[in-house]
Structure 1
Amino acid sequence: MASPILPGTGLGSGLDTGAIVKALVNADKAAKQGQIDRGTATNTSSISGIGTLKSLLATFQKTLTDLGSTTAPQFTGFAATSSDPKVLGATSSNYAVSGNYVVDVTKLATSSKVASAAFSGGNTSSIPPGTLTITQGGKSYPVTVAAGATLQSVRDSINTQYQSKGLSANIVTDSFGSRLVLGSTTTGAGSDISASGIAGLEINGNNKMSSPATAASSGAIGELAQDAEFTVDGLKITSSSNTNDTAISGLTLSLAAVGKSTVTVASNNDGLKASIQKFVDAYNAVANAVTSLTKSSLDDDGKLTVAGPLTGDPLPRSILNALREPLSQTGSGDKLTVLSQLGITTDQKTGALNFDSTKFTAAMNKKLGGEVQTLFTGTNGLLERMNNAVKPFTESKTINGKVQDSILDARSKALDATKKRLSNDQDALDRRIATLTDVLTKKYNDMDTLVGKLKATASNITSMFEALTAQQKG
């Protein structure tokens, strides 16, 4: 008689118990798994959105810093150009006025460089203990020389203590031996360096080293420190530095070489326009991102509504509101006090800024170029106010000795904690489902074994009766 166990199943009952167990497990798992999946999708999307905001605000702050630079001003009402940049460079401030200035550079300001007598033992030459006193411009810089010091250790001590103050030391070896060479970033007459207090390292920086040099020679290498000398339209000027901001009001001259150059100062309308456009573009990048991150949209089929990464999250809108506030505040200028005077207005639908170049040109025709700098980079100017508005979202602060995370960092940590919790929930669910699968599988296998035995017993009984019936008929 045929076996009661179905081929391929290996089950006495003939039932697909694997499918039954799977269906029961899936039914038990579905609700919790759905909750975890939805939470993970939302959390992952939020992490991505917060990361986008962090990146955009970092870029925005970098733009604000660049536009507010004091070394490379971006909002100067006047621009200064040099006819020969190899001779000198020129930058204008808010106080510059239009004009041409012929600058003739006859001397550059130089710094002092001096050398000690030569030590035949090289870098490891022994130096007697004591205090080496370096003097420059009436200031003293003492260096303690301990017992067992070498020429190299003295050099290192000088650099460690005074390199931040513009003094530096090195060792130069010539045909007579190694010499301690002292230099400085300070320029101008009277800034020559001298040293005293340690035998062999005594240097009179006011005297030039003898030529040709000997082993015992010491003193200034090359020329003594000197002031820069130049004329502006024939007027003679001296300066202890090659950077001068007093010769011509509103201009900073950077002397680079002996020669003549004409400095031209003119209205910087194009430069101001470009800087304003950079500001508008940087602001709009944040405003447009906030809209994109919070706005729902249709899927690829155009049927289902898909939420943005931060839809319903108030944080992006709070950022945009914080940035809008400085835009509406009145500046400290006399004639130029609000952005709308420059053609900058806010789009009420998108929150982005619009820049009307026609209105900007009209404002520049009213000679308001100088006030643009005040509006953007003056005391408590727009760039400063805008940066202060961003800081709570991007920079941590210390309160009562405790570091408090920025708003975005705090949100990121909360999302990471949620991510970890969801991962733990998934692990716990997986363990529970594995246990449930094992329990149900054992139960159904036991049931299947019992059914198989009952079928076998029934089959045997049936066979016995069939055999008896056959004998009776025979």
Structure 2
Amino acid sequence: MASPITSSTGLGSGLDISGIVKALVQSDTAAKQAQITRQTSNNSAMISGIGALRSALTAYQDAMKKLNDKDAPSFNAFAAKSANDAVIKVTSGNTAVAGEYDIKVNQLATSSKVASQAYTEGAAKSITAGELTIGQGTKSYKLTIGDGATLQSVRDQINKEMGANGISANIVTGKDGTRLVLSSTTTGANTDLKLTGIPELEIDGTKSMATEGAGYITAKTQDAELTIDGLVVNSASNTISNAISGLTFDLVSATPAGGAGTKVSVTANNDGLKTSIQSFVDAYNTLQKAITTLTATSRDENDNLVLGSLTNDPTTRSLLGDVRKVLTEVGAGDQLTTLSQLGINTQKDGTLEFNSTKFDAAMNDKKLGPEVQELFTGTNGIFERMNKAIDPYNATDGSLASRKTNLDKTAKALSDQQEALDRRTESLTESLTRKYVALDTALGKMKAQADQITSFFDAINAQAKKS
């Protein structure tokens, strides 16, 4: 470990040893230090720029994903509203037709819930080994019950083997004893559960437990029934999507006896479409502005040119070209095939402009509303093509991730170079300091000898003058 160098002046020579050594070391290392500093600065800026670009791309893709949520469609041409969501909920699609309907829910579709005979032994009740058959409508499932089975172990086996089929079991203990209770998620008439093959577990789901000892608990299964403007509709499910074109009903509860029907209205969703399109435009513009910031040039207070972290970067330029290309491609719709038909146009700075007047004309005059969803979220729609354009760059194994990895390697290499240069600087400083100190010492000795000789001759001269 080299000794620290402090500012010093040679005692023998009067030279500024520290200053001389510093100047010589800087002369030797300055070029390399400048190179490392410049490359480190550029590399750090590039790492920062790649990170910012990936964040902007991810935010844009997240915005498109939100607009493409199938559970909350953002581009429906029609909006449906129920006057009583506690009875019936409604959603609309692009094939709906504006109108109003009066709907009564006469009954909900139900699923099967059955119970076995009651046993006083509780969950430990022993069950005969054999093959248990669980029937439901036209389907039949078989379970092998092994030796030593109990009511509890059968429950566990049913839950393990039948859960994927929507059938579950539990044990309920009441005043008359303990029963195995089975439930199904399948609704509709004639989907009652029936258990055969094991004497203790014989259950006929079409018969009442109250009278037979084993059977359905409350009632047999049934279809949903509703009337739409007086027309009767039956459904095995409480979700009905084929009664009125473009509408899906979720039945929540039956209409109270003697109660009025629920009004369901369907209207054009122009405002909703406008909001969703504006959200897309805003998300794209945010991305465009982020890229512009990363690639822009400017002037500092001394009028020197300042480059952005990704200015002239070929990858960023290629990405921007691929993204912009999607905006100009023709879609596969019948009438609506381009964004410009909806009033969306590219401005000089690369951002998008949304013209509300042109949009309103497209909705009201040209009736293009039903095709908006297909343009954005359909097969090979704008969102799909946008993601295909971005993924090669922003995916976890994309080109930007690869560049980040390479830049990190470069940063490590530059750090290693800096450490090596620091070691050389320290070593050279120590070496030169020792040499100049040795020189100063030698000069000091020579000066002392000269002083002695001078003193000797001065003494002789003084003696000569006296004589």
Q: Check whether the contact 1:290–1:317 (CA below 8 A) recurs between aligned residues.
A: no
Q: Look up the match of 1:361.
A: 360
Q: How does 1:26-65 map to 2 (within 5 A)?
A: 26-65=26-65
Aligned to 1:441: 433
Unaligned runs of 5+ in 1: 1-6, 397-404
Deviation at 1:472, TM superposition (A): 4.5
Shift of 1:336: 2.1
Residue of structure 2 in register with 1:374 after alignment = 374
Name the counterpart of 2:350: 351
CA contact (8 A) 1:123 1:152 kept: yes
The Cα offsets for residues 309-334 of structure 1, whole Å up to 9 and x where unpaired, read as 10110222222211122222222233
TM-score w.r.t. the length of structure 1 is: 0.86
> Does 2:313 align with 1:313?
yes
| Alignment partner, residue 258 of structure 2 | none
Q: Give the superposed CA RMSD.
A: 2.9
Q: State the alpha-carbon separation in 1 of the partners of residues 456 and 177 from structure 2.
A: 121
Cα separation, 1, equivalents of 2:414 and 2:123: 64
Give the alignment of 1:126-275 within 5 angstroms: 130-145=130-145, 154-174=154-174, 179-198=179-198, 200-210=200-210, 218-259=214-255, 260-275=261-276
TM-score by length of 2: 0.87
For residues 61-90 of structure 1, what are the alpha-carbon distances to aligned partners after superposition, in whole Å with 9 as ceiling and x for unaligned?
222222223222111111111111222211
Identity of aligned residues (%): 54
Of the structure 1 ranges 111-120 and 270-279, higher mean CA displacement relative to structure 2 is found in 111-120
Q: Which deviates more, 443-452 or 462-471?
A: 462-471
The 1:419/1:159 distance shift into structure 2, 3 A limit, reads: farther
Q: How big is the shift at 1:426?
A: 1.8
Cα separation, 2, equivalents of 1:417 and 1:132: 64
Task: Provide closer, same or farther for how the CA distance between residues 445 and 351 of structure 1 changes in structure 2, counting only shifts above 3 A.
Answer: same
Q: In the alignment, which residue of structure 2 is the partner of 1:99?
A: 99
Q: Is the 8 A contact 1:294 1:308 kept in 2?
A: yes
1:473 to partner: Cα distance: 4.7
The separation in 1 between residues aligned to 2:27 and 2:146, in whole angstroms, is: 83
SS in 1 for 2:227: strand
Code of the residue aligned with 2:65 in structure 1: it is T
Q: 1:34 to 1:231 in 2, by over 3 A?
A: same
Q: What is the CA distance between 1:267 and its match in structure 2?
A: 0.8
Tell me if the contact between 2:8 and 2:17 (Cα under 8 Å) persists in the aligned partners: no
State the AA in 2 paired with 1:138: T
CA distance in 2, matches of 1:340, 1:411: 36
Which residue pairs with 1:333 in the alignment? 333
Corresponding residue of 1:277: 278
C-alpha deviations, 1:323-357, integer Å up to 9, x for none? 1222222222332222211111111x211111100
1:104 Cα deviation from its structure 2 partner:
0.8
Distance 1:353 1:449, change over 3 A: same
SS for the counterpart of 1:229 is strand
Q: Distance in 1 between matches of 2:340 and 2:190?
A: 53
Matched residue type, 1:188: G
SS in 2 for 1:290: helix
Unaligned runs of 5+ in 2: 1-6, 256-260
1:426 partnered with 2:418? yes
Instruction: Answer whether contact 2:57 2:394 (CA < 8 A) is retained.
Output: yes
Q: How does 1:396-407 map to 2 (within 5 A)?
A: 405-407=397-399
1:231-280 Cα distance to aligned partner (Å, 9 max, x none): 11111111111111001111011111222321111111101111111111
